[in-house]
Structure 1
Amino acid sequence: MRWEALFADMEAQLEAAQAAERVVEVADLTRAELAGVELGDRLRAALGAEVRISVAGGHVVAGQLLEVAAHWLLVAEGPRRALVPLAAVAAVRGLPARSAPATGEVARRLGLGYALRALARDRVAVRIVADGTELAGRIERVGADHLDLATGVDGGTGAAQLWAVPFVSIRVVRSD
């Protein structure tokens, strides 16, 4: 009987040690998996949710998250829309703990220029928040790293002024 109790005790100790190893292994695997999660993955998991986004320069975009691309996201602020370059995001509130899979190759190629060209094509009146300035007008042209914004086109105050705005300075593009 003593031997059976001894072996039963040894078996219980072995099972406890294996269970402890599994806990450590699961924790390590979880940390390793989380290390590969990008902000875009978390944002994609929040599609349709209400979010609050702080962007560089102290501006805030708050509303329903409508779209997330590789380099930008689109938020409905009531009837208006706000296009935010992912590089301008300083902090986000309202994200779930889970993440969504990465976008496909085609979606990855739809950069900020693609979204801005759509706004230019549709002749949408916009308000651009850039580093230290805010401009209102229509996007006339979109280059590889900048856009040309015509201001004063709807005010009837004479000829429009054309501003070249580098993508890296753009914080938010709002529908006007």
Structure 2
Amino acid sequence: MRWDALFADLQAQASAQRQEVFESSVAEAVALEWSRVELVDRIRGHTSQPIAIRLRGGETVTLDVRTVGSDWIAGGAAGYQWLIPVGAVDMVKGLTRRTQVEPSQARRRLSITSPLRALAEARHHIVVRCETGVLAEGALLGVGRDFLDVRTESDYPTIRTVPLAAITAVCSGRS
């Protein structure tokens, strides 16, 4: 009967429209959720994997990610330990769509000054890098709110104070 075909057609149209609305809602929800993801969460999702990080100034470091903080990335590359401020990252290559949020509230609040202070306590030999090369090399003496002090190891040891905003990476010891 013609009526049966008409009703079947109307039902198919309604079903298709419901599916379209559902898919649109899912897409909106996914887009909203993705808009809340931070770069550090993307990188944290790749812990123990190598990723290529291009720093301000053009230097690229292929880093085996070990730890990710609120505003920093740490890992090994080229036989050295690296600590990179997220603000110095121009681009990351090698990430998938995987993310991982830091479950610990306390660790989520640790800024780059926390690992730097641990290095200072141990009096580690470090190399402080900026966009144009090496700013300072020597023993990390202390870390202030927005700077660090390095005692150079030369014929005439001096203290170099470096603003954290100038740093693209800190390298420390062989891994």
Fold match, TM over 0.5? yes
1:61 counterpart SS class? strand
Q: Aligned equivalents of 2:151 and 2:58: distance in 1?
A: 25
Q: CA deviation at 1:103?
A: 4.4
TM-score under structure 1 normalisation? 0.91
Q: Deviations over 1:59-109 (max 9, x none)?
A: 222121111000111021143111001111111011111211244320122
More displaced 10-residue stretch of structure 1: 117-126 or 100-109: 100-109
Query: Hey, what does 2:141 align to over in structure 1?
Result: 140
Shifted more, 38-47 versus 74-83: the winner is: 74-83
Say whether the 8 Å CA contact 1:48–1:64 is kept in structure 2: yes
Unaligned runs of 5+ in 2: none
Match of 2:68? 68
In structure 1, distance between residues paired with 2:131 and 2:91: 17
How far apart, in 2, do the equivalents of 1:88 and 1:42 lie? 16
Amino acid at match of 1:172: A
Contact 2:58 2:131 in 1 (8 A): no
Q: Work out the CA distance in 2 between the residues paired with 1:13 and 1:142.
A: 66
Identity among equivalent positions (%) equals 32
* Structure 2 Cα separation of the partners of residues 13 and 109 of structure 1: 52
**Aligned residue-pair number:** 172
Indicate yes or no: 2:171 matched with 1:169: no
Structure 1: give runs of 5+ residues left out of the alignment. Answer: none
> Within 5 A, what are the aligned runs for 1:1-176?
1-134=1-134, 135-152=136-153, 155=154, 157=155, 159-176=156-173
Native 8 Å contact 1:42 1:98 kept in 2: yes
Please tell me whether the aligned partners of residues 141 and 149 of structure 2 are also in contact (alpha carbons under 8 angstroms). yes
